Amino acid sequence: MSNELEQRITQLENEVRRLRASEDALATFNQYLYGIDTGFIPDILDAFSENAILDVINFPPDGVDMHFEGRSEMEPLYQRYQSRSGIISGGHNATNISLAIDENCDSASLTSYFTTTRPGGIQGGRYEGYLTLENDNKWRFSKLAIISSWGWTTDTTKLSDSVNIDRSLFGGKSAS
């Protein structure tokens, strides 16, 4: 095999590793978002490393800043979403997702805008975080900041109820 061909194969292998890392890291972000929208607390917490840091900045309605170290500290924050278990309530929309995979394909940085909609209100902000590839070949957040930058209350009229997860092709989770 020629040296040039070997170099091209190595380049292609590296590109496949980078693309695979990108897809897997994005799957973790989607797991987190779908977990919140359907109340799957284990999926939410599994998106974080055991000792991850979570900063929630300007949390509505009071504009409180919160800091958590480790999954066990985070769990009470996410328990509020448990009432959604078994239904698809939706609400989290992530856009302008930017993911930068490092050269070794074992860590990444992520930014994304978000909008959440709920009866009586809408808010938006940014997700900013770092993910790492762990020993079990799963990408998890090592640090995540949720920055709420705006929010409004609204008068709403209910049009329909939430849908049970048994009506979802994927059980309320993201396609995998």
* Residue percentage of the chain with pLDDT more than 70: 97
Q: How far is CA 148 from the centre of its chain?
A: 15
Rounded to an integer, what distance in angstroms lies between the CA atom of residue 25 and that of residue 140?
7
Rounded to an integer, what distance in angstroms lies between the CA atom of residue 169 and that of residue 130?
31
Rounded to an integer, what distance in angstroms lies between the CA atom of residue 160 and that of residue 166?
17
Q: What is the pLDDT of residue 98?
A: 97
109, 96 contact by CB (below 8 A): no
Q: Kindly list the domain boundaries of the chain, sorted by start residue.
A: 3-165
pLDDT, tens only, 103-149: 999 999 999 999 988 777 889 999 999 999 999 999 999 999 999 99
Strands 92-101 and 139-153: unpaired
> How high is the mean pLDDT of the chain?
90
Work out the average pLDDT over 72-96: 83
In order of 9, 24, 31, 37, 119, the CA distances from 176 in angstroms are 28, 10, 10, 17, 29
Q: What is the pLDDT of residue 1?
A: 67
* Higher pLDDT pick, 156 / 63: 63
Lowest pLDDT segment from 3-7, 75-79, 87-91, 130-134 = 87-91
Q: What is the pLDDT of residue 7?
A: 92
DSSP 62: T
Q: What is the pLDDT of residue 172?
A: 80
Lowest pLDDT segment from 25-34, 47-56, 61-70, 161-170 = 161-170
* Higher pLDDT pick, 158 / 15: 15
pLDDT, tens only, 30-53: 999 999 888 889 999 999 999 999
Q: Taking the domain 3-165, which CATH number applies?
A: 3.10.450.50
